[in-house]
Structure 1
Amino acid sequence: MSHSFDGQVAIVTGGARGIGLGIARQLKADGARVVIWDLDVSECDTARLGFEPDHLQSVDVSSYACVERAFEATVAALGHVDILVNNAGINGPVVPSWEYPVETWQRVLEVDLNSVFYGCRVAVPHMRARGGGRILNVASIAGKEGVQFISAYSAAKAGVIAFTKSAAKELARDNVLMNCVAPAMVETELFREMSPEHIEASKAKIPLGRFLQIEEVGRMVSWIVSPACSFTTGFTFDLTGGRATY
């Protein structure tokens, strides 16, 4: 199904690399004006990104004050925001829950869950005042199933799904539609944070027998936040190659 954003402004958090960059590229290709927020934007030249972002900003999404300032700067630069993709995240270590470092647990929840709330907290009033908008939160199959040895990540992503369900119901009459995607493992640089055993175990659970590709995530997200997806909110779209059938 083809669709176009006709110059709508889209923020993608964690958009400088990996899944976020794939989403940003697809939104740009489909006609959106794309804003990249990332903690490190030092290597965000056009050649590496594959396109020229309409706005680029270093943002610590685990800080509400930083997110608030970044949103104000984006609106000042581009006038308004139509789409928010909360993608930024970290994996954390692969260890038993009873050995999980407390400080790392807190950091994973700050980046993977709190940041979603912060982004929505600043974007929703703006979208409601404008008469609508689209928000897409990147969750994970780990948030549906709970995956052993990555308990903080699983807990954070489960929180993202539950928050999305709650907030979407609140916003349904405001034409602000909020959904999730729940990907299986995508082969990105985050693989460096995982053990080979964890990677192989994750691949073995996917009936299609391969890892999800970044471009596949981009295409799915672009459709979900487009005008073409007009009667679905609070839903978690599957990107697991048959691993989840609900």
Structure 2
Amino acid sequence: MNVVITGGGRGFGRTLARRFAEQGATVVVTARTLAAAQRTRDLLPDAHALQCDLTDPASVRRCAEQTAELLGHVDVLVNNGAGFLAESQADDDAIVRTILSGAAGTVLMTEHFLPLLRRSGRADVVTVVSLEAESRSDPAHIAHAAFHAAKAGQGRYAEIMSQRLRPEGIRMISLYPPDFEDGDGRDGVLTARSVADCVLFAVNQPRDCFIRSFHFEPLPVS
């Protein structure tokens, strides 16, 4: 299995890269800086690191071209990379970067990697959205409204493309988790490992099983 993961330089992207590598996949880790991608690559067997700035169309195109040279085809594309923006951090430039990296970045990655996915007999596109894209999101969440908007854009794009690509056998799978953390979990808090295992579960289903989305319950308020 050839897997490309955006935002793989740290956090959930790194966890997901590790889980795919443990399953024997060849992983291409991408990050906004090559150094960040290389740090994850160095932890994995037979992995590759590429620079990919999701806010820059030329960078996304170059990443797709380099992946084609490395692998020839892609079985799983994971749209994980997306900038987070808190209310306290918001200025005009930060708002634009957030919208571009989350919504436009997902569109650009999917569009430019579709030729490589179409060379696979088992292509999946996984998009890590967020509970914050849904109407039941927490209005008191620290995220700026631009982050909510970017995530909603990701989710809507994935829904439309799921319908359009299904006749080709390409599955679009979206995840809508609440906030989650690394580690072993505490008091029912969702962990990165659990979310990663949901991704692995979905992409390993038989090809006639189209799971469009995973909608997680938020942690109950005590």
Residue 23 (str. 1) matches residue 16 (str. 2): yes
Offset, 1:78: 1.7
Q: Could you tell me which of 13, 21, 27 is aligned with 2:6?
A: 13
Partner of 2:177: 183
- Note if contact 1:182-1:240 (Cα within 8 Å) is conserved in structure 2: no
Mapped to 1, the partners of 2:64 and 2:189 lie a distance apart of 34
Offset, 1:105: 1.6
Partner of 1:155: 149
Q: Could you tell me which of 166, 171, 190 is aligned with 1:212?
A: 190
Partner of 2:125: 135
Partner of 2:69: 76
Aligned positions, number: 212
Partner of 2:102: 112
C-alpha RMSD of the superposition: 2.4
| Structure 1 runs not aligned, ≥5 long | 1-7, 189-207
Offset, 1:165: 0.6
Distance 1:175 1:77, change over 3 A: same
Mapped to 2, the partners of 1:232 and 1:84 lie a distance apart of 16
| Structure 2 runs not aligned, ≥5 long | none
Residue 237 (str. 1) matches residue 214 (str. 2): yes
SS in 2 for 1:88: coil
Letter matched to residue 93 of structure 2 = E
Offset, 1:222: 1.2
Letter matched to residue 159 of structure 2 = K
- Note if contact 2:33-2:53 (Cα within 8 Å) is conserved in structure 1: no
SS in 2 for 1:16: coil
Offset, 1:123: 1.5
Deviates more, 1:135-144 or 1:149-158: 149-158
Bigger RCO of structures 1 and 2 (CA < 8 A, at least 6 apart): 1
Partner of 1:204: none
Offset, 1:25: 0.7
- Note if contact 1:16-1:37 (Cα within 8 Å) is conserved in structure 2: yes
Partner of 1:89: 82
Offset, 1:242: 5.8
Mapped to 2, the partners of 1:110 and 1:28 lie a distance apart of 29
Mapped to 2, the partners of 1:178 and 1:80 lie a distance apart of 17
Aligned-pair identity in percent equals 24
Mapped to 1, the partners of 2:13 and 2:155 lie a distance apart of 18
Please give the per-residue CA displacement for 1:88-123, whole angstroms capped at 9, x wherever unaligned: 01211225xxx9533222110101111100111012
- Note if contact 1:38-1:57 (Cα within 8 Å) is conserved in structure 2: yes
Please give the per-residue CA displacement for 1:213-245, whole angstroms capped at 9, x wherever unaligned: 111111111111224474224x220234566xx
Mapped to 1, the partners of 2:42 and 2:180 lie a distance apart of 18
Please give the per-residue CA displacement for 1:159-181, whole angstroms capped at 9, x wherever unaligned: 11111110010001101000111
Q: Could you tell me which of 42, 47, 58 is aligned with 1:54?
A: 47
Partner of 1:101: 91
Partner of 1:198: none
Letter matched to residue 236 of structure 1 = S
- Note if contact 1:9-1:32 (Cα within 8 Å) is conserved in structure 2: yes
SS in 2 for 1:56: strand
